[in-house]
């Protein structure tokens, strides 16, 4: 007997967007699972419609193994909901259901209150808001920025002997040969340092953790990180965070990276330039420090790519 779906129109629309992010292999496998192999879909469109028809509810579909954590993460990012890169799947499922519940409530509000003109104004405003989000936060680039910062600071912090970690593979190989570093620090006195060349840039950044024993805690939430692609293909990643030594918070930092793919190194991303600002503050021991927000606009970052 066929299971009748109880998906609302909002949930159905959201689930369809999610399914379009699946690979064809995972999509057809999910179709087999949902239908117990009773229906063989002939194409991806039929597979998606079959999955939606045979799913009892949205939560059941979201919890399916083939609907991977990264798929839900990417879907939420496309919808303008930016989550921590380390968040677990069950939390992403919960947030997605909350999003759809909010949208359903908004639809009911439209029906109860709106005239046609009012509804059209709301629709236009939503489209404008979505357009702005897409301009400032390209989903793929934002995810790249989060992944890069997570990798970079984990790698850099592992060099700090106070943390007792096995040092990871830090070195000039992660930078372009003509890489540049501009380091401005304001902790008591102001100081500006500039370095050119992969070896020098790598050594100066390494000294921050290995010799100065600093630990960097980046804010990878939406208000602490921005990433975009310049017209010339340079990916700009800006992040804010706090600086610690042992249990003491020493201050905050803002860091901007310029990334370019290297065709000579398996097309991996390498660092072209780094601009870093460190601001000291009164030391705080054993207290929760608010995650600093990033103040750069998209236009600010694009200007930096030409300097």
Reported as a single tens digit per residue, the pLDDT across 111-157 is: 455 445 544 554 554 444 434 433 344 677 888 888 899 999 999 99
One domain, residues 81 and 210:
no
Can you give the pLDDT at residue 6? 72
User: What are the pLDDT digits (tens) for 263-285?
Assistant: 877 778 899 999 999 988 754 44
Can you give the pLDDT at residue 282? 55
Q: What is the mean pLDDT of residues 214-219?
A: 93
Q: Which residues have C-beta within 8 Å of that of residue 151, sequence separation ≥ 6?
A: none
Can you give the pLDDT at residue 294? 78
Domain boundary among the residues 108, 136, 164 is at 136
DSSP for 133-161, written as a single string? HHHH--HHHHHHHHHHHHHHHHHHHTT-G
Residue 4 resides in a domain: no
Can you give the pLDDT at residue 208? 95
One domain, residues 129 and 230:
no
Residue 16: domain span: 9-136
One domain, residues 282 and 197:
yes
Q: Which residue has the tokens 């602490």?
A: 224
We report the CATH number of the domain holding residue 250 as: 3.10.450.50
Q: Among 301, 154, 307, 179, which Cα is nearest to 235's? A: 301
User: What are the pLDDT digits (tens) for 223-242?
Assistant: 889 998 877 778 999 999 99
Can you give the pLDDT at residue 257? 95
User: What are the pLDDT digits (tens) for 293-304?
Assistant: 777 676 766 666
One domain, residues 111 and 150:
no
Q: For residue 102, give both structure tokens.
A: 């909010």
CB 251 within 8 A of CB 283: no
Domain boundary among the residues 136, 162, 197 is at 136
Domain boundary among the residues 93, 113, 136 is at 136
Return the SS3 of 286: coil
Higher pLDDT, 39 or 3: 39
Residue 201 resides in a domain: yes
Mean pLDDT of the chain: 81
One domain, residues 164 and 294:
yes
Q: Where are the alpha helices (DSSP H) in the chain?
A: 9-19, 24-35, 44-54, 58-62, 69-78, 89-113, 116-136, 139-157, 198-210, 298-304
User: What are the pLDDT digits (tens) for 90-107?
Assistant: 999 999 998 888 776 665
One domain, residues 95 and 196:
no
Higher pLDDT, 289 or 271: 271
Higher pLDDT, 141 or 1: 141
What percentage of the chain has pLDDT greater than the value 70?
A: 79
Q: Among 132, 139, 133, which Cα is nearest to 227's? A: 139
226: number of Cβ within 10 Å: 24
Q: For residue 160, give both structure tokens.
A: 């700090």
One domain, residues 222 and 290:
yes
96: number of Cβ within 10 Å: 23
CB 214 within 8 A of CB 206: no
Residue 2 resides in a domain: no
């Amino acid at each position: 007997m066929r299971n009748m779906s109880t998906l609302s129109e909002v949930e159905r629309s959201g689930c369809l967007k999610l399914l379009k992010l699946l690979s064809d292999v995972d999509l057809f496998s999910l179709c087999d699972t949902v239908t117990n192999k009773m229906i063989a879909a002939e194409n991806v469109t039929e597979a998606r419609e079959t999955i939606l028809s045979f799913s009892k509810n949205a939560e059941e579909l979201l919890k399916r193994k083939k609907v991977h954590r990264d798929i839900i993460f990417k879907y939420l990012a496309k919808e303008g909901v930016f989550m921590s890169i380390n968040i677990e799947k069950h939390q992403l499922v919960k947030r997605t259901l909350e999003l759809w519940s909010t949208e359903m409530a908004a639809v009911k509000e439209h029906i109860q209150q709106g005239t046609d003109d009012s509804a059209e104004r709301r629709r236009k405003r939503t489209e404008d808001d979505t357009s702005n989000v897409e301009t400032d936060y390209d989903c793929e680039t934002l995810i790249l920025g989060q992944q890069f910062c997570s990798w970079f600071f984990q790698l850099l912090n592992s060099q700090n002997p106070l943390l007792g970690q096995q040092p990871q593979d830090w070195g000039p190989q992660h930078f372009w040969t003509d890489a540049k570093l501009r380091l401005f620090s304001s902790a008591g006195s102001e100081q500006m340092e500039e370095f050119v060349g992969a070896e020098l840039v790598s050594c100066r950044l390494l000294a921050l953790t290995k010799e100065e024993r600093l630990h960097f805690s980046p804010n990878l939430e939406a208000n602490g990180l921005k990433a975009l692609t310049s017209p010339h293909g340079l990916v700009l990643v800006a992040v804010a965070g706090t600086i610690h030594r042992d249990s003491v918070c020493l201050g905050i930092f803002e860091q901007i990276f310029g990334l370019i793919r290297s065709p000579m190194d398996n097309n991996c991303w390498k660092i072209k330039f780094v601009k870093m600002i460190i601001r000291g503050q009164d030391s705080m021991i054993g207290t929760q420090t608010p995650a600093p927000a990033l103040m750069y606009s998209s236009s600010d970052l694009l200007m930096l790519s030409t300097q």
